[in-house]
Structures are given as C-alpha cells and as structure tokens.
C-alpha cells in the first residue's frame, strides 16, 4: 500500500471545488509517491460546508480554521479562502509544521507576503502558490522552447487577461470587489497570473508604469452582504455599496534583460470569458497562447525555410508532452481543472523530497513586488523601479 498524506482544506467554493477534484484525480493519473486523503474541509457557513463536504468527498468538516491547522493528523493545509485570510492561516499552519498550498495572489500586499515567506522558511515546510497556469501543457512547451533557444532573445511579452463577468451594473458587490477582503480587483486576481508567467518565461522586471479604472463605482449589495455590512445608505429601494477595487489595470514594463512588456487585465471586455492571451516575440521565433483554447500553442520559427514560415498550431496533447501524456491520446483535450491536478502531483512529489516546487512563496513575494510597483506608479503617475518597493 502507498503512503498517504492527510489534507485539511480551508475554503469550499470555486477553488475549493477545483482543489478537491485535484486530490481525487491525482492518484489515478499521476501515481504520486503519496496519496492525498481528503480529511477535513473548513468553512464558516455550516449548512453549505456540510453539503460541500459530502459532494466533494471530504471525510469531515470544521467551521474554525484554527482547529484544522492545529489537528495532529493534518499534514498539508490547503488555503483557498479570500485573500485577506491567507496570511493568518499560512503563518499559523507554518508554525504547526504543516506543508502549505496557498491560492494566489499570495497575500494582500508585499509586507504580508514577506512575513509569510519568512514563516514558511523558518518552519522548514514545503510550500507552493497555486499559480496554476504554469502547468498548462502548452505553456510548459512554451517554457521549453524558450529554454532551448528556439525563440532567441526575447523582445516582447504581450499579455492580456480579459473577462466580462461584471459588465452588468446590477452585478452585486461580491467579496472580490471589496478591497478589505480581496486586496485589489483584477490586479491581484488576473495580473498576478500574468506577472507570474512573465517572470517564469521572460525573467525579472526592471520597471513599470500603470493605469487603472473602476468603471462602475457602486453596486447593489448581495443579499448575504446586507446582513453583514452596516453604515450603508439606501439608494432608492436598493442598498448599494462602493466598489473599492480596480475593474481594470494596465501596465507597461521593462524587463531586466531588455524585453518590453505590455499587460492588461480587465473584467469589462464583453465576450472574453477567461481571455488570457500571451504573445512572445524573440529574435528567432514567436509564441502565442490563448487560455480559451488551452490545448494549443502557436509557434512561429525563423528557422523554417522562408516559404514555409507561419504560425503553427501545435496541439499539446498526447504522449509527446509532459503532463498531457498522463491523460489521453493526441487530440483528446484536457480542461481547466487539470492544471490543479498537475500542481498537486508536483506538490506531493515535493513533499516526499522535502523541496518546494515552483511557484512557491518566493515567487509569491516577487509577484507581489511587481503588483505593488504598478500600484505605486499609478499613484505617482510615473515609472517606478521594482527595487523601489522592496
């Protein structure tokens, strides 16, 4: 029989579902050295939590995260809660010697991220941040081609992450739209992904300048929020709340290696549902990736003979490609949630070896540095060097 590891997961909504699925599937498709046991799931609203525990297949549930973190039988703590809670949970879990998988962005700000990194280092535990797109097989191929020199010197990194789920002004003021819970809007939610991928694929940032906007300033309170919040004035018959995060943040960047970067994240691009689009241009070739078609990578090579040069659509499926080979034959697509299975497979191997795979809390801190530099540049209306925020 294989060794097992008991997991305690804090949070049970969108990410909780994705992570639960990953723990269920990893054994079947990746044969990891440790098999995760879905021991206990944790949340605040018992009725919903209980239902989640049943559906997602967790043995037990618990309404106080502190208890989960302190349970002797729990070896891995998985944090999928809103951003404002990442720090306290992670620091406490580290103190208790638990390994940690934490959703992105790592924290509310750079200061918190540094404290968290210090805590996990001190504890000597294995840690990861769930920037799941690093494990899309098509992006892994992009990384490989860059490392092999197939793209040459990189000139441009052009990244957009476009969504449209809050274009309707009647969409309510959910937690992701409140700064005290989310830290920021699209900047932390979507630009953090782009920054992490840029660091991985291109290298470290030198300086940035940004622009942000909140197009809809007030939104109706969600039903549950009305009970929690106070001090809000009714506008007509509806109670409205202020949107305190960015609907859209764009920035330009210069990388340390001389490449130029263009970044944009928004929730106001109608028709773009999960529209992450990344293009890289180098001296020898180009790459294009689109998340809404995540099984493909477009590659253009100057090494082809002139009459044969063109962007080719590589179907990154089947046995030729890492991660993809664990699933199905060529042309049989994988979906969004598979990236979490890949994260968990590598995390389990990391735990077995005692090493923290990338992206880990170090990467979480560096991402936060860039996020914060962009924010400072917006406030100052000028370029800001990354080192200025360290």
- Contact set for a copy of itself, span 154-213 (CB under 8 A): 155-156, 158, 160, 162-165, 167, 209-211, 213
Q: Cβ distance 110 to 389 under 8 Å? A: yes
Strand, helix or coil at 264? Answer: strand
**Residue 314 binds a copy of itself, judged by CB under 8 A:** yes
Residue of 65, 131, 205, 321 interacting with a copy of itself (CB under 8 A):
321
**Residue 311 binds a copy of itself, judged by CB under 8 A:** yes
Per-residue binder mask for a copy of itself (CB under 8 A), 10-39, x = binder: ----x--xx-xx--xx-xx--x--------
Q: CB of residue 209 vs a copy of itself: minimum separation in angstroms?
A: 5
Q: CB of residue 262 vs a copy of itself: minimum separation in angstroms?
A: 6
Given the complex with a copy of itself, which of 57 and 97 has the nearer CB atom? 57
Given the complex with a copy of itself, which of 92 and 337 has the nearer CB atom? 337
Per CB under 8 A, which of residues 37..66 are in contact with a copy of itself?
Answer: 55-57
Tokens of 220: 């109706």
For 81-97, give one letter per residue: b (16+ CB within 10 A) or e: bbbbbbbbbbbbbbebe
CA distances from 154 to 194, 206, 258, 287 (A): 16, 15, 8, 11
Given the complex with a copy of itself, which of 91 and 343 has the nearer CB atom? 343
Closest Cα partner for 242 from 217, 222, 265? 217
Given the complex with a copy of itself, which of 138 and 365 has the nearer CB atom? 138
Per CB under 8 A, which of residues 80..119 are in contact with a copy of itself?
Answer: none
Per CB under 8 A, which of residues 333..372 are in contact with a copy of itself?
Answer: 333-338
At 376, which helix (H) or strand (E)?
Answer: helix 361-380
**Residue 379 binds a copy of itself, judged by CB under 8 A:** no
Distance between CA atoms of residues 292 and 192, nearest Å? 18
Give me the torsion for CA of 88, 92, 97, 99, rounded to 10°: -20
**Residue 222 binds a copy of itself, judged by CB under 8 A:** no
Q: CB of residue 134 vs a copy of itself: minimum separation in angstroms?
A: 17
Given the complex with a copy of itself, which of 87 and 342 has the nearer CB atom? 342
Please report the sign of the dihedral spanned by the C-alpha atoms of residue 129, residue 127, residue 102, residue 368.
negative
Query: Total number of residues binding a copy of itself (CB under 8 A)?
Result: 96
Distance between CA atoms of residues 243 and 260, nearest Å? 32
**Residue 282 binds a copy of itself, judged by CB under 8 A:** yes
Distance between CA atoms of residues 198 and 367, nearest Å? 10
Rg of the chain's alpha carbons, rounded to an integer? 21
């Amino acid at each position: 029989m294989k060794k097992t590891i008991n997991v305690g997961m804090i949070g049970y909504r969108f990410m909780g579902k994705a992570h639960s699925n990953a723990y269920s599937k990893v054994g079947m498709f990746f044969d990891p050295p440790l098999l995760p046991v879905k021991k206990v799931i944790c949340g605040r609203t018992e009725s919903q939590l209980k239902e989640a525990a049943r559906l997602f297949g967790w043995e037990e549930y618990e309404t106080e995260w502190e208890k989960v973190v302190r349970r002797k039988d729990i070896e891995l703590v998985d944090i999928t809660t809103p951003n404002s809670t990442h720090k306290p949970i992670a620091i406490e879990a580290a103190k208790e010697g638990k390994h940690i998988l934490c959703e992105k962005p790592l924290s509310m700000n750079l200061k918190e991220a540094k404290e968290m990194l210090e805590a996990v280092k001190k504890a000597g535990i294995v840690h990861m941040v769930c920037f799941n797109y690093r494990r899309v097989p098509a992006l892994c191929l992009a990384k490989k081609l860059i490392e092999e020199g197939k793209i040459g010197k990189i000139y441009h990194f052009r990244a957009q992450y476009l969504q449209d789920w809050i274009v309707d002004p009647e969409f309510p003021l959910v937690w992701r739209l409140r700064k005290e819970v989310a830290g920021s809007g699209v900047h932390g939610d979507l630009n953090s992904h782009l920054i992490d991928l840029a660091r991985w694929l291109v290298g470290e940032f030198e300086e940035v300048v940004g622009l942000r906007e909140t197009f809809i300033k007030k939104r109706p309170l969600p039903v549950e929020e009305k009970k929690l919040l106070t001090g809000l004035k009714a506008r007509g018959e509806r109670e409205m709340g202020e949107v305190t995060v960015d609907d859209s943040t764009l920035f330009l960047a210069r990388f340390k290696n001389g490449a130029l970067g263009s970044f944009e994240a928004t929730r106001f691009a109608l028709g773009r549902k999960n529209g992450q689009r990344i293009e890289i241009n180098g001296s020898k070739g180009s790459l294009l990736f689109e998340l809404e078609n995540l099984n493909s990578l477009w590659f253009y090579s100057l090494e082809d003979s002139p009459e044969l040069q063109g962007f080719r659509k590589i179907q990154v499926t089947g046995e030729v490609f890492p991660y993809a080979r664990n699933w199905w034959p060529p042309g049989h697509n994988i979906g969004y949630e598979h990236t979490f299975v890949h994260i968990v497979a590598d995390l389990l191997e990391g735990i077995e070896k005692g090493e923290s795979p990338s992206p880990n809390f170090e990467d979480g801190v560096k991402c936060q540095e860039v996020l914060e530099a962009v924010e400072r540049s917006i406030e100052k209306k000028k370029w800001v060097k990354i080192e200025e925020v360290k």
